[in-house]
Amino acid sequence: MTGFIGLMLTVSTAALADDDYSAVEERIRALAPSAESIAISETPIEGILMVQIGGEIVYASDDGRYLIQGRVIDMETRADLTEGAKSELRREVLASADTSKQIVFEPETAEHELMVFTDIDCGYCRKLHAQVEEYNEHGISIRYMAFPRAGIGSRSYEKFVSVWCADDQQAAMTQAKAGADPDPMQCENPIAEQYQLGIELGVTGTPALLTADGQLIPGYVPPEQLKQRLEKLAVAATAD
């Protein structure tokens, strides 16, 4: 319950179906009075509704009595219905976001592009970056976005600002990921905006890997395994 109470919510309310979900919405609003938008829709499960509160998804009984948190898996198809809905929400957020300002490490020919929310001081982020050439060799483009876990104004945030403002952003990123403190620099930068975007997209830790179609892959994944996973996601997307 604490995951959504008091959240700043930015996603527009979707049109409700013809069904009257007012009782459910009333109870949800009592739990989350600061919610600016609530969208309710049916699920394949009789008597269970999906409730979108900003970027978060929960479920409720159609009489408004029970609230359920967690993922819904179709055991017949093995499809993660919750992740599918979240991916759609992420695509909506990305459609209106400025994602052009990135620090990019890419191969000559990219088969897969990943937006990677990263923290300068995160151990697994450093492990990922130490293998960035291997990711590139597997046809994976790494496009960094800032997500200083300690928040805006933290030491990690200031390091990211310095990396962004460096003449050679790639070299500065590599040095910082190796543990060297970047030379302090200030300039106009997108670090705070990218951090807020990460929150809207549901990023809670780093590294967080985001595909072009809104699939979120949390945590470090070795290059070969990541390529295989991306290929499976691409096949699944084609099948859909």
In angstroms, the Cα distances linking 20 to 16, 17, 26, 37, 123 are: 9, 8, 11, 16, 49
Q: What is the pLDDT of residues 143-163, one digit of tens each?
A: 999 999 999 999 999 999 999
Task: Reply yes or no on whether 149 is catalytic.
Answer: yes
Split at pLDDT 50, 70, 90, the class of 240 is: low
Q: What is the pLDDT of residues 98-110, one digit of tens each?
A: 889 999 999 999 9
153: which 2 tokens? 């104004």
pLDDT of residue 184: 96
The fourth-level CATH superfamily of domain 22-70 is: Disulphide bond isomerase, DsbC/G, N-terminal (3.10.450.70)
Task: Reply yes or no on whether 165 is catalytic.
Answer: no
Cis peptide leading into 207, omega within 30 of 0? Answer: yes
Same fold, 22-70 and 103-239: no
Catalytic residue among 90, 125, 126, 165: 125
Percent of the chain whose predicted confidence (pLDDT) is above 90: 64
Task: Reply yes or no on whether 122 is catalytic.
Answer: yes
Q: Is the pLDDT of residue 6 over 70?
A: no
Interval 202-223 mean pLDDT = 94
Give me the CATH topology for the region 103-239: Glutaredoxin (3.40.30)
Catalytic residue among 119, 121, 126, 165: 119
pLDDT-wise least confident of 93-97, 137-141, 173-177: 93-97
Task: Reply yes or no on whether 125 is catalytic.
Answer: yes
Catalytic residue among 62, 90, 121, 122: 122
Spell out the domain ranges in the chain.
Answer: 22-70, 103-239
pLDDT of residue 158: 98
Q: What is the pLDDT of residues 30-56, one digit of tens each?
A: 888 887 778 899 999 999 999 988 778
User: What mean pLDDT, rounded, does the chain reach?
Assistant: 88
Q: Is 192 exposed, middle or buried (0-12, 13-18, 19+ CB in 10 A)?
A: middle
- Decide: 112 and 217 in contact? Cβ < 8 Å: no
Total-model pTM: 0.79
